[in-house]
Structure 1
Amino acid sequence: MIYIYNCYAGTHSSALAAAYHLKKLPQDRQPTKEEILNIDIFNKLTPKDMGRIILHGRDEEGNKVYTIGRSRSKLLIPALKDLGLILNEGSQSTDKVIFSNASPTVPIAMTFGGLFSRRLHIDFIGVPLLIKGAQQTYHNIISLVEFTKKTAKTSEKQIEILENKNFEVNKLF
């Protein structure tokens, strides 16, 4: 099985989802500032990294966990799905691929934090907002990861795209 978490830049909500999936963040409490900032790519990617599929590791069942930043494109994930189907045609590959959109879990603090930190390079404003947003939504991201894993195990599709609209957070502080 291959899991690919995706979001706008690939450096915040999808990075958090991959970290929770791989048990690099606590599941039973809000993560600390240090735990969040220690995630390998959290708030470290640049616009040049959008579209890169980044491997974060293997989960407890041996499944690969990736992230990708898709920018504003609504076409990237469907194109990757089609590419996967083409590559699997006539092959013996049995790897199921699950694309899971982490964007619905993003609270407004994280949105503005990403804007200030990644786009405007004002980290002293952006990073505290990113931390606050990550802490506010940690339970939503954990639920999204659990839903993604459950869907992966029950889906009959070779490639599944999860939009995860049911995980939309209250966008107010």
Structure 2
Amino acid sequence: MLFINTFLGDGMIFIYNCFGGTHSSSLASAVHLNKLPQDRIPTKDEILNTDYFNKLSYKDMGRIIYRGTDEEGNKVFSVGRGTSRVLLPCLKNLITMLHNECGLNEKIVLSNMTPTVTFPMTVGGFLSRGLGIDFLGVPLLLIGAQQAYRNIVEVVKFTKESAKTLKDPVLVLLNNKGGRIY
């Protein structure tokens, strides 16, 4: 019930998702909440000080983490989905059911951040989170995060704009070149 009560309220709900929920989703959440700049690439320290950046582990996958409330009163969350191909369709079905059966009124946008991930982020994340080799992984993560940053900002902007036209209870944004929305 605490989970549902956290969701209930006025406004829209944004859930940024990626493999681990600790890199691109953390940065996207921070951009959405104006905790990171949109007009420049953040410094390495700004990236490292982003909430949850490179802090989550495998056991956190599937955990929906509240990141804050934006300037319009919308709640922002993130989730790591691992290799699951069923998590997003499951969440979409669950949200639709909650709308139809339980009185949930908030519209929810699930935005996939995986297409923004660069090769150095992938390798750095594997080394740091997967193998615990931070002295190699973290520098690669920082290089990759700075390379990906403009794309992350663009996806966040697209996510916010897409939400304004949302008519259904839930919108899943794939954010890849082949198909943005389903």
TM-score, length of structure 2 as denominator length: 0.89
Q: 2:177 aligns with which of 142, 151, 166?
A: 166
CA distance in 1, matches of 2:177, 2:35: 25
Letter in 2 for 1:153: K
- What residue in structure 1 maps to residue 152 of structure 2? 141
Q: Is the 8 A contact 2:99 2:169 kept in 1?
A: no
- Secondary structure at the counterpart of residue 55 of structure 1: strand
Per-residue CA deviation, residues 22-49 of structure 1 (Å, 9 max, x unaligned), is 0111111110011001111000001000
Does the 8 Å CA contact 2:107/2:166 hold for their aligned counterparts? no
Alignment of 1:144-159 (within 5 A): 144-159=155-170
2:100 aligned residue (44, 65, 89): 89
Residue 58 in structure 1 maps to residue 69 in structure 2: yes
* Match in the other structure for 1:3: 14
* Mapping of residues 15-164 of structure 1, within 5 Å: 15-164=26-175
Contact 2:38 2:153 survives alignment (8 Å)? yes
In structure 2, the residue corresponding to 1:160 is in which secondary structure?
A: strand
Structure 2 residue aligned with 1:170: none
Q: What letter matches 2:54 in structure 1? A: N
The 8 Å contact of residues 121 and 142 in structure 2, kept in 1 or not, is answered as yes
Aligned length, in residue pairs? 167
Shift of 1:57: 0.2
Q: Residue 26 of structure 1 aligns to which amino acid in structure 2? A: P
What is the distance in 1 between the residues matched to 2:75 and 2:138? 29
Taking the aligned partners of 1:133 and 1:23, their CA distance within structure 2 comes to 21
> Displacement of 1:90 after TM fit?
4.1
Deviations 1:76-133 (A, max 9, x none): 0110111111111144432000000000000101000001100111101100000001
Cα distance in structure 2, aligned partners of 1:150 and 1:69: 23
Q: Return the offset for 1:166.
A: 2.6
| SS at 1:95 equivalent | coil
- RMSD of Structure 2 on Structure 1 (CA): 1.1
Letter in 1 for 2:37: P
Work out the CA distance in 2 between the residues paired with 1:43 and 1:91: 35
Alpha-carbon distance between aligned partners in 2 of 1:20 and 1:163, rounded to the nearest angstrom: 18
* CA distance in 2 between partners of 1:81 and 1:35 (Å): 33
Identity %: 57
C-alpha distance in 2 between matches for 1:95 and 1:9: 26
Q: Any stretches of 5+ residues in structure 1 without a counterpart?
A: 168-173
